[in-house]
Amino acid sequence: QSALERPEFIDQFINIKELYMEYYPNTRIRGMKDLLQKLNLKLEGRHHSGIDDTKNITKIAQWFIENKQPLKLTSKKTE
């Protein structure tokens, strides 16, 4: 048991693939590489590399913002 209090926000997140399919329900997305391709964005670096995946997800999030698609939580862990 940790003496640190767990912040509530840590259990909230955006699944970018789920969010895209919510905005575009007739589209099937198999993963991040597929989503990048659908958005005409180039895969940067190596897939499943932590830093490269972060950069690619950031590009997708920027696409949402530029295209007036709000970023919103898709999941919240409940205990």
Place of tokens 């912040």: 7
C-alpha distances (whole Å) from 11 to each of 1, 44, 67 are: 18, 28, 27
- Judge whether 21 lies within some domain: yes
Place of tokens 């693939």: 17
26 DSSP assignment = T
- Judge whether 8 lies within some domain: no
- Judge whether 7 lies within some domain: no
pLDDT per residue as tens digits for the range 23-39: 999 999 999 999 999 99
- Taking the whole predicted model, whether its pTM rises above 0.75 is answered as yes
Q: How many domains does the chain have?
A: 1
What is the Cα–Cα distance from 3 to 30, expressed in whole angstroms? 40
Residues linked to residue 12 through DSSP beta bridges, in sequence order: 76
In contact, 15 and 74? CB cutoff 8 Å = yes
- Judge whether 59 lies within some domain: yes
Determine how many CB atoms are found less than 10 A away from the CB of residue 65.
Answer: 10
pLDDT per residue as tens digits for the range 1-60: 678 888 888 899 999 999 999 999 999 999 999 999 999 999 999 999 999 999 999 999
What is the domain extent for residue 26? Answer: 15-72
